[in-house]
Amino acid sequence: MRDEDPDCVDLDLSGLKCPLPVLRTRKALRSLPAGRTLVVTCTDPLAALDIPNLVREEGARLDAVERRAERLLFRITVSARPPHS
């Protein structure tokens, strides 16, 4: 899923259980400028529901979801959004 895009950031959350994948993904999304791409790798099956919901809440765009054996990969593009309070 990752190409050689210099604007792409990998976040490997393999082995972490809910709620850590969502919390760390949220932190990463909020730290990246608009237009950057985040590729998140998770092994927690709940991430299949939680990460897409988080992406929607954060106003980002879920570009792709891919399953590789026990791993789920999410390709997310950070969108411009108002600052969080």
Catalytic residue among 1, 16, 18, 65: 18
The yes-or-no answer on residue 42 being catalytic is: no
Answer whether 58's CB lies under 8 Å from 81's CB: yes
- What does each C-alpha distance from 29 to 11, 51, 68, 69, 70 come to in angstroms? 10, 11, 23, 25, 23
Catalytic residue ranges: 18
